[in-house]
Amino acid sequence: MRVLMILPALTEATSPLFRPIKYSLFPPLGLATLAAYLPDGDDVRIVDEHVERFDPAEAELPDLVVIQVYITSARRSYELADHYRARGVFVALGGLHVTSLPDEAAAHADAIFLGPGEDTWPQFLEDLRRRAPLSRYTSKERTLAKLPPIRRDLIQRHRYLVPNSIVVTRGCPHHCDFCYKDAFFEGGKSFYTQAVDDALAEIERLPGRHLYFLDDHLLGNRRFARELFEGMRGMGRVFQAASTVDAILAPDLIEAAVAAGLRSVFVGFESVNAANLAEQRKRQNVGRDYAAVARRVHDAGAMVNASFVFGMDSDGPDVFDRTVEWAVSQGIETATFHIMTPYPGTGLFRRIEAEGRIAHRDWELYDTRHVVYEPRGMTARQLEDGYWRAYRDFYRWGALWRGAATHERSGDRLRHLAYAGGWKKFERVWDALIRTRQVLHALPLLEAALSSFGGRRPVRSAAPARATIAA
């Protein structure tokens, strides 16, 4: 059987003028995971439109097309699906958007997949070979116990800055109102892990030093995380991952991660307004001292990639300057800003829709850079302008120097400037590397920056930080 798996591109990722580096970071790991269930005799190809041009009219017709759909790529996904269905090819659609709006997706597919695919995908393949596939598969059993080795041979490593991406858990133990993943895991376990030995075996298969854990919350199961980090000690890896503020404040956990090689952690601070946290059910952040979180990560020897969301109901026009000033003063190395976006299938969407505040359903604009609802504390123009200003102000050279100066060690100051500056100040260089397919050659520079350019710092244990209101 000839199988074509496609990750459709977002519009800006195919611009003839500029290619943002963020779309050339990670290969389509989900599709490579599904490909692992196909028998050796099948002819399988993975296409990632973010990093390669693809014209379906020029390609040989496969027997099966599998498309992973995100909300902002839905239009392109449906365009591809309709093209192949019109030519008699069986089309399967899955992903976050399909799970959120199954009836919309079903109009463009022969089969749709709701939720994770570890249990439904093997069943579908069996049904397809019996010529009796269902039109809808809904995940119920949640386990990673029999996950086959990911088909990394199908990934074009040279096209990505971070080819060694890995996922060893699924979902998140928390349930925030604005989170897109809650609908995806509805109807079964919303957070589960691999066996530690299986996770370590997958890590051993990856070449080089650098890893990026794409898990929503690598520290979500603390027993699993501790055992994983213990098994990774001595591997010589450097890695990046995501966590929540409460896990970072847990005794010795972030220190164990750094001892295993953690050098940068994505932290969902989300808002400097405490009232927003309760409103969005971000309970793991309520009553936490954000400054203590940043200090804990830095003291352990890692960097902070902070996430903030603007436009929650308690936000006013002052929130942008307050957020940037706090992040710079705490020595936050990189920050990711978002405009609050009510994704379909979330509690936030249901609430905003019930209040009559949804502006439109143009899914391509549900990208956390555009206002798609009616804000409460400011106008839509103020919200969009403030979002872009926050990025400009945080990544100004003056702000980067001021943030770097908060670190005691010269190696950490240099790391701060190199990592943050390299990410935002040399975008045209990244664009050139992407277009010439040389982006992987920048990986040694990333590893050097993550490692403080060879600097070493003893990892100190720390008692749990005192809980106070958010900054």
Give the Cα separation of 45 and 332 in Å (integer).
Answer: 40
User: Per-residue b/e over 404-433, b at no fewer than 16 CB within 10 Å?
Assistant: bebbeeebbbbbbbbbbbbbbeeeeebbeb
| Residues facing 239 on adjacent strands | 211, 262
Q: What is the mean pLDDT of residues 135-144?
A: 93
Token pair listed for 466: 């005192």
One-letter amino acid of 179: C
Q: How many CA atoms lie within 13 A of 225 on its CB side?
A: 25
Parallel, antiparallel or unpaired: strands 169-171 and 191-193 = antiparallel
Range(s) of the chain covered by CATH 3.40.50.280: 2-138
pLDDT of residue 434: 75
pLDDT of residue 277: 52
CATH of 2-138, one of 3.40.50.720, 3.40.630.30, 3.30.450.20, 3.40.50.280: 3.40.50.280
Segment holding 165, helix H or strand E? strand 165-166
User: Per-residue b/e over 351-379, b at no fewer than 16 CB within 10 Å?
Assistant: bbeeeeeeeeeebebbbbbbbbbebebbe
Model confidence at 465: pLDDT above 50: no
Model confidence at 153: pLDDT above 70: yes
Range(s) of the chain covered by CATH 3.20.20.70: 161-454
pLDDT of residue 113: 98
pLDDT of residue 444: 84
pLDDT of residue 461: 43
Would you place residue 23 in the very low, low, confident or very high pLDDT band (cuts 50, 70, 90)? Answer: confident
| Residues facing 165 on adjacent strands | 212
**Yes or no: domain 161-454 corresponds to CATH 3.40.30.10:** no
Model confidence at 282: pLDDT above 70: no
State the residue for tokens 């003839």. Answer: 16
Q: What is the pLDDT of residues 198-239, one digit of tens each?
A: 999 999 999 999 999 999 999 999 999 999 999 999 999 999
Q: What is the pLDDT of residues 31-53, one digit of tens each?
A: 999 999 999 999 999 999 998 88
Would you place residue 436 in the very low, low, confident or very high pLDDT band (cuts 50, 70, 90)? Answer: confident
Most confident of 176-185, 285-294, 374-383: 374-383
Name 153's Cβ contacts closer than 8 Å, sequence gap at least 6: none
The predicted model scores a pTM of: 0.90
Q: pLDDT averaged over the chain?
A: 89
Q: What is the pLDDT of residues 62-78, one digit of tens each?
A: 999 999 999 999 999 99
pLDDT of residue 309: 94
pLDDT of residue 468: 38
